[in-house]
Structures are given as structure tokens and as C-alpha cells.
Structure 1
Amino acid sequence: MDWQRYTLLGGIVAVVLALIFQWNEFKEQHTPALDRETVIRSESRGTETTPHANTGDSDVPQLQSQTGSDQGEQKTGRQLISVTTDVFELLIDPRGGDIVKVALRKFEEELHSPDRPLILLNQTRDHTYIAQSGLIGQNGTDSAAGRPLFTVAQTQYALSEGKDALTVDLTLQQQGANITKRFTFNRGDYLIKVSYLVDNTGDTPWSAAMFGQIKRDDREPPVDTGIGVSPFLGAAIHTSEENYFKQDFEDIAEKPTRESVEGGWVAMVQHYFLSAWVPPQDERNTFELRELSNGLFRMGFTSPQVQIPAATQGELSASFYAGPKDVYRLEEISPYLDLTVDYGWLWWIAKPLFRVLHFIQEHIVSNWGWAIILLTVFIKALLFPLSAAGTKSMARMRKFAPQMKKLQEQYKDNRQKLAEETMKLYRREKINPMGGCLPILLQMPVFIALYWMLTETVELRHAPWILWIHDLSAKDPYFILPVLMGASMWFMQKLNPQPTDPTQARIMQLMPVMMTFFFLWFPAGLVLYWIANNLITIAQTWYINKQVDAGKV
């Protein structure tokens, strides 16, 4: 009996949902805690002495044969320099002046954890992700043999209220030169200027080149991306042939990359966030992506050598970005850096969609959930002429379904005659059997582009909508939205003609259940889009069906 079948199906669904809840609880309880403690490591020593040496042991790139000695390592260790701004909690190692930790104060590690800002860069016992910079060449301070130990006036710096900028100076006395490594932080900005101020006190020219690099292992960040979503994790640069050339860690290990371009940038990309070195844009810089022998990866640049005459001052500088994938800010920093917000091959559709979504949120509703719904309405209105044609064709097929069924029963033993009579019916009633498919296919690129746009939009991270939805980038904790999506999909099917083949009809009936299961782990923002899209399609289909039934279309 039907009631027994439905009772059994309901019981199976209840058991599956209970198992899902239990799995989520188990996963949360057994997820290893993130190691937040920053440690100081001794620098590697190596013998790399040529520009193209590939031993991978050196901690810094090499311009020419360089030798050096460890410059002042203290037996008692060293204290990290703490820098706090309105957007950063940051640690700098006086050994080399490397940035060994970056925590983003405006982004929580987890929802409702304001005391734990998201850690983007860090050097812990089991994880390395740091930003290094230095000087190499004839008078360089960094070499394969060691890194310089800077001195600093204090070990704690903070951006004061009412101040828009903070500078942190690390100093080093070199034979014939006084060098200041200066970090400049600006309020509300994730871009850090790193400058080397060189006072050449000697009687010969001073010459060196600046390098900047991101050193990282291949450990994936602890991000729950759900099913079907696999954001890119790896390095990216701007090359002479590609505006956005990306390599994951396996690609880098298999084939290192070396490229020289005017300007350019090198970035470490992950879901929602990135770090990037941006050297001077008016110089020809050399970029390198490769694996080191210790299992780490180096993604960096080297600028041309600068010569500072005797008894004069000069400056070498670059910028380092560590923060969210803010499309508008990345566009300002360097050409094509905004492509690290990776919308895939349909970026040319996704970028305009994001700008519309951002405009709606910024100027109309001030809520990303409602902005997604209004964007869906905007897209459906834009594509209405296309989708309406397909809906009308489907409505006509639904209207004349009884006649088609009668023909199938009448000519069930004569397929050729059935095909002839069916085509006559199509021509007489102006039915296009492909009319419902073509508009859907033409709309698919828009839907795919919107999917990736919502997946890559950092503004949705921890963005609430209403009631129980506190994070549009995470799955619905109670799976209410996926169930509503499945119900709307089922109702939408009922408004369209059903397949005449029993097997196809059975598969179509299972589709809402299957899609509901897949959408259980999708970000709530994406599920919200599909619900809005389905509801608008239901209203549109119902209206057109009424028009066709009344003979008005």
C-alpha cells in the first residue's frame, strides 16, 4: 500500500538525517585544534651559490656567488616584535625581519569567536607559512650562509587612536652603510609597505637587490568547503603570456617556474584569503615558484640591483598584502591581482554578477542574504524572454499531453506511424519539443558563473541572513534550506509535463531527493539562491500555464 511505502521512505529519511547530525557532532569533537603558538626556527644553511642552482637548500635566492657569515646570532635567542593595528596582529622576527605571523582581527577563526582572529600566516611546530624579504648581491645583507639580526627600539608597537599610519623600524649597521628596514602600516588597509633605507657612509658605491618571498608547506587550511566545492590552494603569478598563471603544490614540485616581467606580483592563494608580494611596477622583476629540499615551497620575486653612490642615501621597497580577497582593493594594488578571486573560466560573467550583488548589498538591503535573493530576481528578469519561450513550449506539451498519450496507445505497435502522427500534432499545435531544452542550456553558463561567484565571495563568510542562518558561507546547521530546496524542486516538476517513459519518470521523481542530499553540505548562500530561483520559476511557470490553458498564448 502507498501509506506503507511512504512510511518506510519517511523512516529511511529520518535515519539518514540522524546519522548526518551524529557525524557532524563527531567531526566537530574530533577536529584537531589549530596550533596557534608561533615558534622561532634557526635558519637553514646551504651551499647554493648560483642564480640557477636547484639544490633548494638556501633560505634566500641568489644573484651571484655569495658567501657570508652568521651576522650576530645571540646564544640566548631573540624576542619577536609584536605589531597591532586595527586589522592586524602581527609578529616580526628580528632575524631577517621576516613576518612570521599574521592574524586578521576583523575575521574570526570561527563564528562567534571574537577573541580568536583568523590566523593567515604563522610558523608553528607543524606548520610554516611566512613572508620573508631581504637584500642580496654585492652588498646584500642576506646570503646562503645566514640572515642579518636587526635591532629595534622596542618589541611592541600599536597603531594609536587618531593615527592613520604606523612605522616599525629595524636597524642594521653594515660596514660602510647604515640600513633601516621599515614596515609601514595604514589604518584599515591590509597592504604593508616594506622598505630598505640605505645610508651609504662608505667611499664606494653600495649595490644590492631586494627580494621578497612567501615560504609555505602544503598543508591545507582548516576550511569546511562542503561537497562539490574545491577552492584553489597554491601559488599564482602574472606572466608575459598569462595574466593569471596558477600552480598548485604538486605542479610546483613537478615543474618549477621562473619568469621575468615588467611589474607583476606573486601570491599564495586559498579560499577567501591570500598573501602577495608586489614589487615596484616600473621595474622588470624576476619571479620564481619552486619546492625547496626541506619540503617547503618558495614563491618569490627578485628586483633589479640598485646602486647607491658613496655618501648618499637610497631606498629599495616592495609591498606585501595579507588579507581577504577584496576585488576592489586588489584591483587598486596591481593589474590582474584581482584575478586571484578565481571565478573560473566564466569569470567574464561572474565579475559583473558580483558587482551587481555588491551594489544591491551596499545601497539597497545591507544584508547579503536578501542581496542574493534580489540578485536572483534581477537575473530571472534579465533572462525572462529566453526562459519564457521554453516555459511556453513546455506548457503546450503539458496541455496536449492527453492527445499524445492517446496516440501512444493507438500506435503502440507501430513506432513509425507513432512518430509521424506525433510530428503532425507538433506542427498543428505549434509545439517545439526542443523549445524547453535550448533556453535552459543557454542559461546554464549564468548559473554556473553565479555558483562560483558566491563560492569565492569573502563577504559571505560569517555573514548572517535571518533567524538560524548566521553564516551564509557555511552549511545550514539544521538542513532546513536544503529540504525547502528539494520541496520547491519537486513542486516545480509537477508543473511541467512528465516523461512518458516510466523509467525516466521514476528518475525524475528521485531527482529532488538526490539534489536535497547533495545540497545538505552546500553553503547556505548557494542553497538560498537555488530556492529563490526555484520559487521564481514556479511562479513564472504557473502564470504561463494559465495563459496557455486559456488560449491567450
Structure 2
Amino acid sequence: MDWQRYTLLGGILAVLLALIFQWNAFQEQHTPELDRETIVHDDIQSGSQIPAQTSENGNGDVPQLESQAPAETGTDSGQRTLINVTTDVFDLLIDPRGGDIVKVALRQFQEKLDTPDQPLILLNQTRYHTYIAQSGLIGNNGTDSAAGRPLFKVEKTNYAMVEGQDQLIVDLTLQQEGANITKRYTFKRGDYLVQVAYLVDNTSAKPWSAAMFGQIKRDASEPVTDTGFGMSPFLGAALHTNEENYFKQDFEEIAEKPTRTTVEGGWVAMVQHYFLSAWIPPQDERNTFELRELSNGLFRMGFTAQPVQIPAATQGELSASFYAGPKDVYRLEEISPYLDLTVDYGWLWWIAKPLFRVLHFIQEHIVSNWGWAIILLTVFIKTLLLPLSAAGTKSMARMRKFAPQMKKLQEQYKDNRQKLAEETMKLYRREKINPMGGCLPILLQMPVFIALYWMLTETVELRHAPWIFWIHDLSAKDPYFILPVLMGLSMWFMQKLNPAPTDPTQARIMQLMPVMMTVFFLWFPAGLVLYWIANNLITIGQTWYINKQVDAGKY
């Protein structure tokens, strides 16, 4: 009996849903904890006293110029302490050895939605993870080499941007034979771009010469994030080359084939989901960029600028910029040409990028809520595609209207397939029915759907962005799977408005499609499922209206 079959099916679905909830809870409980403890070489906690070193292990992780002399590393019989820098957007640690950035925490982004007191850690050097930003001077009078890094001095070990202060300067000083060098970090309020400059006072009677380098040093481990189900965001290095505006390599590709190129201006970045770090050297000079694996299993993504010569008894400056923060399209466009391409929308970027502009405009100027902005974006997309989708819907409606005649033909010519095909084509021509017309709306939606998937996946503004009620993060899956179920129901109802396939096998497959799509969407970002629900509801309204018009003989 039908009620027994439906009862059994309902029980199976209930058990499946319970298993999904249990699996979701299991995953959340077994997500690895992030190691937040910063160390420097000798595994000592950040903020504690770190014994001074005269050199680092020479494993080739500092670039070299030809005929470079050994660096003056500076010895210190005392101890060094990491330098804490706090701004409105950063909690940052600088190691006096080399003046490197060994930790960056983004204060305006939470590690997890339910951990408001834990800012997201982008860069860090721990016992199990290395991701740091290094910079230095190499060449004739360089301070850095494979033999060692310089030990800078600093007036204090805690710097903080106070209320009303728009700029914070942190100076690290080094006395070199014949020159006084200041490594200056300049932080600006509300900005993730840090200016890094070497101010050189050449006190000798000889010219001073060196080139600045900047590099990101990282292992290949993936960040602890929940990217959901589907296509994984890119993790790896990217740069601008003469051949490609956006050239990217993951860690396996870098290990197999290192990259070295020289371009005018340019940039080099470490890209991950929602965030990136990047070195941007002087844009009016030719810079050499390199992506390679080091002998210690780490990866180097860096640049080397042109050597700068400072005449005797004069001052000079070498500088670059370092970005560590969110993939903010508009800010990245301002920093350097093509840096915004690190917001990777995939091969359908030419659709995804305009969609983001429209979505951002709606959220910024109309609704101030990313969930409602997605719904209004859906209305905008459906309006653009209305002429084409309406034609397909009309064709489906006409097939539905003349379905009884088609069924009659099937019964009449069930033993003569050739005659059935001929009579069916006559009916199509006489009633102006396009059997492929119903596929057109789906074919039109798929590129938009894929582009929108990438756009919503890459839009950092959606991270932890709430909509209404239980949806507190549009970039994550619905915690209660309500939206996917609603999407499946809307898809089922939409099918009821269209004619069923004449082939029994196809009809059964179509009946299963709402269930299959519901399961498929369970782990999709809530923002994407919201778009699909809105799209289905608009399509239902449009199909219902056109069906009425066709039944009334107006089409």
C-alpha cells in the first residue's frame, strides 16, 4: 500500500537526517585547535626573554646577490624580547633579530563566530606552523645573509595606537660600520597596508650600496577553517608576471617547478580563503620575484629590489609595503595593479566580478544586510534573464497544455516508434512547441550559479555576516539545514508546475532530483542556498503566471 511505502520512506529520511546532524556535531567537536603560541627558533613563548643569537642556520632562506660579503649580524651578550605592536586592526609581533614580523592577528575578524575575544591569526610562528614576513638588506653593505641576520635595538617593546592617533611609527635601529640604519614600520589607522622602510645614514667616506628584499616564509599546512562542501578555495602563492596578470602556484607546483621573474613594479602574495599577505615593492622600479621551496621544507615567496647606492656622508631610503588582511577588492585595487585578482573568482570571473559589484552596491546603499542583498541580487539577475527564461517557460507551458494530445499519440502509435516520432514532430510544428526550450533557463542559470558560488565563497564581507533568526553566518552551512530543505521543497513544487517527462525512467529521476539536490546543498554556504531558494520562488511565480496565460489562450 502507498501509505506503507511513504511511511518507510519517511523513516529512512528521518534516520538519514539524524545521521547528518550527528556527523555535523562530530566534525565540530573534532576540529583541531589552533596553536596560538608564538615562538622564535628556540621554542620560547612570545613576550618572554629570548637568548640572543649571532646567526641563523644557513639554509638559503635569505636571497643573495652576486659577490655578497658576509653580513654584519651584530652580537649581543644580553637577551632580546619580541616587540608588541597594537593598532585598531592589528595585534602584531616583531622579532628584533632581523626585524621580521612573526605574528599578525586581525583584530576586526574573529577566529570563529563564537569566539569574539580571539582575533583571527593570519601570520604566526609556532611549534608546528611557520608563516612569517621577513625583510632585509643584501648586497655590498647588506645587513642580511645566509650567515646571519642583524639584531636591532628598540627603545621599548610595546607600542600601541591610542584613540585619536592616525599613525604609529616603530623604529628599530642598527649601528653598522660606517652607517646608522633605522628599520621603520609605519602603521595607519584602519589600514592593513604597512610601510616598511630602511633609513640609511652613511657616515663613511665611501658610497653605501645594498638592495632590499621582502619575503613570506611559510609551510604547506592548511589553515584551520571550515570551507564547507564543494570546490576548495586556492591556497598558495601568486604574483604578477609579464605573461600573466595573475600567476598562481600551489605548494606542490612550487616544489616541482620554482618560479623566478623580473617585472616593472609587481607584487607577490600568499593567498588563502578570505585573506592574504603580500609584499609590494616600489612600483616604478624593476623587481625580481621568486617562488621556491627551501631546504628546510618551508616555502619562500619574495622579491628583491634593485640595489640602491647612497653617496658618502648622505642619507637615503629603501622601502616597500606589506599587506596582511582581508581580500578587500576595492582596497587591493588601490594598492597595486592586478592585486585584486587574488580574489579568485575562477574562470567565470567575468560574470562573478560584476555580480559582486552589484551585490556590494545593494548592501551598501539599499538594505545594509548581506542576506537581503543576495535576495535583491537574485531579483536583478532574474530580471536580466527574463526575456530568455520567459521564452523557455512558455515552451514548457505549451508542452504541459498539449500533454494529453501527446499521451494520446503515444497510446495510438505505441507499436510504431517511427510513426510516433513523425506525428509528435507535426504536433510540435503545428502548436509551435520547442521541446528543448525548457532546458534554456537551466542552461542560462548554471554559469551564473557557478560564478555566484565562487563570488560568495570569495567574498570576505560575507564571513560571519548574519541574515535573520538562526542564520548568523552566510558563508557557512545552515546549522539546522532548514534552508536546504526549503530549497528542496521549492524545487519539488516547481517541478509540479512543469510537464513530467514522457519517459518513465526520466520521470523517476526528475522525482528524485529535489531529494538529491537537498542532500547536495546541505553543506553549501547559507548565502548560496538563499540565492537558490529566492531563484526558485521567483521561477515558481513566473511559471504559474505564464501557465495561466497559456491556458487562457493568450500565448
Q: TM-score range by the shorter chain?
A: over 0.9
Shift of 1:38: 0.2
Structure 2 distance, partners of 1:99, 1:551, is 73
Shift of 1:390: 0.4
What is the DSSP-based 3-state SS (H/G/I as helix, E as strand, rest coil) of the residue aligned with 1:441?
helix
Q: Which amino acid aligns with 2:433?
A: I
Q: For residue 4 of structure 1, what is the aligned residue in structure 2?
A: 4
Kept in 1, the 8 Å contact 2:72–2:144? The answer is: no
Q: For residue 24 of structure 1, what is the aligned residue in structure 2?
A: 24
Equivalenced residue count is: 543
Q: For residue 169 of structure 1, what is the aligned residue in structure 2?
A: 171
When structure 1 is superposed on structure 2, of 500-509 and 234-243 the one drifting more is: 500-509
Shift of 1:5: 1.2
- Of 138, 156, 159 in structure 2, the residue corresponding to residue 157 of structure 1 is 159
2:493 is the alignment partner of 1:481: no
- Of 182, 189, 192 in structure 2, the residue corresponding to residue 190 of structure 1 is 192
Pairing of 1:194-343 with structure 2 (within 5 A):
194-343=196-345
The root-mean-square deviation of aligned C-alpha atoms, in Å, is: 1.1
Q: For residue 38 of structure 2, what is the aligned residue in structure 1?
A: 38
What is the CA deviation profile of residues 355-390 of structure 1, one whole-angstrom value per residue up to 9, with x for unaligned ones?
110000001000000000000001001110010000
Kept in 2, the 8 Å contact 1:67–1:145? The answer is: no
What is the CA deviation profile of residues 435-468 of structure 1, one whole-angstrom value per residue up to 9, with x for unaligned ones?
2223432343222211211111000000000000
Shift of 1:479: 0.5
What is the DSSP-based 3-state SS (H/G/I as helix, E as strand, rest coil) of the residue aligned with 2:62?
coil
Pairing of 1:55-94 with structure 2 (within 5 A):
57-68=59-70, 71-74=73-76, 77-94=79-96
Kept in 1, the 8 Å contact 2:61–2:300? The answer is: no
Kept in 1, the 8 Å contact 2:399–2:433? The answer is: yes
Kept in 1, the 8 Å contact 2:228–2:523? The answer is: yes
What is the CA deviation profile of residues 509-528 of structure 1, one whole-angstrom value per residue up to 9, with x for unaligned ones?
11111111111111110110
2:506 is the alignment partner of 1:504: yes
What is the DSSP-based 3-state SS (H/G/I as helix, E as strand, rest coil) of the residue aligned with 1:413?
coil
Structure 1 distance, partners of 2:226, 2:491, is 26
Shift of 1:406: 0.7
What is the DSSP-based 3-state SS (H/G/I as helix, E as strand, rest coil) of the residue aligned with 1:133?
strand
Q: Which amino acid aligns with 2:427?
A: L
- Of 361, 364, 367 in structure 2, the residue corresponding to residue 362 of structure 1 is 364
Pairing of 1:49-128 with structure 2 (within 5 A):
57-68=59-70, 71-74=73-76, 77-128=79-130
Kept in 1, the 8 Å contact 2:238–2:270? The answer is: yes
Structure 2 distance, partners of 1:503, 1:75, is 82
Structure 2 distance, partners of 1:37, 1:429, is 73
Identity of aligned residues (%): 86
What is the DSSP-based 3-state SS (H/G/I as helix, E as strand, rest coil) of the residue aligned with 1:322?
strand
Structure 1 distance, partners of 2:217, 2:329, is 24
In structure 2, list runs of 5 or more residues that go unmatched.
43-54
Kept in 1, the 8 Å contact 2:69–2:139? The answer is: no
Kept in 1, the 8 Å contact 2:238–2:247? The answer is: yes
Structure 2 distance, partners of 1:166, 1:291, is 35
Q: For residue 406 of structure 1, what is the aligned residue in structure 2?
A: 408
Structure 2 distance, partners of 1:377, 1:508, is 26
Q: Which amino acid aligns with 1:389?
A: A
Q: Which amino acid aligns with 1:64?
A: E
Q: Which amino acid aligns with 2:530?
A: L
Q: Which amino acid aligns with 1:254?
A: E
Q: Which amino acid aligns with 1:447?
A: F
Shift of 1:29: 1.9
Kept in 2, the 8 Å contact 1:70–1:145? The answer is: no
Q: Which amino acid aligns with 2:226?
A: D
Q: For residue 54 of structure 1, what is the aligned residue in structure 2?
A: none
Q: Which amino acid aligns with 1:271?
A: H
Shift of 1:274: 0.3
- Of 359, 369, 375 in structure 1, the residue corresponding to residue 377 of structure 2 is 375
Structure 2 distance, partners of 1:444, 1:75, is 66
Kept in 1, the 8 Å contact 2:72–2:176? The answer is: no
Kept in 2, the 8 Å contact 1:191–1:319? The answer is: yes
What is the CA deviation profile of residues 189-225 of structure 1, one whole-angstrom value per residue up to 9, with x for unaligned ones?
0000000000000000000000000000000001111
Structure 1 distance, partners of 2:240, 2:438, is 43
TM-score by length of 1: 0.97
Q: For residue 51 of structure 1, what is the aligned residue in structure 2?
A: none
Q: For residue 178 of structure 1, what is the aligned residue in structure 2?
A: 180
TM-score by length of 2: 0.96
Shift of 1:75: 5.6
Structure 1 distance, partners of 2:57, 2:219, is 18
Q: Which amino acid aligns with 2:34?
A: L
Structure 1 distance, partners of 2:219, 2:78, is 28
What is the CA deviation profile of residues 128-164 of structure 1, one whole-angstrom value per residue up to 9, with x for unaligned ones?
0000000000000000100000000000000011110
Kept in 2, the 8 Å contact 1:105–1:117? The answer is: yes
Q: Which amino acid aligns with 1:413?
A: D
Structure 2 distance, partners of 1:447, 1:474, is 17
Structure 2 distance, partners of 1:284, 1:32, is 43
Q: Which amino acid aligns with 1:32?
A: P
Structure 2 distance, partners of 1:350, 1:453, is 6
Pairing of 1:375-524 with structure 2 (within 5 A):
375-524=377-526
Q: Which amino acid aligns with 2:254?
A: I
What is the DSSP-based 3-state SS (H/G/I as helix, E as strand, rest coil) of the residue aligned with 1:152?
coil
What is the DSSP-based 3-state SS (H/G/I as helix, E as strand, rest coil) of the residue aligned with 1:125?
coil
Q: For residue 51 of structure 2, what is the aligned residue in structure 1?
A: none
Structure 2 distance, partners of 1:14, 1:439, is 33
Structure 2 distance, partners of 1:410, 1:44, is 88
Shift of 1:45: 2.4
Q: Which amino acid aligns with 1:460?
A: L
Kept in 2, the 8 Å contact 1:236–1:245? The answer is: yes
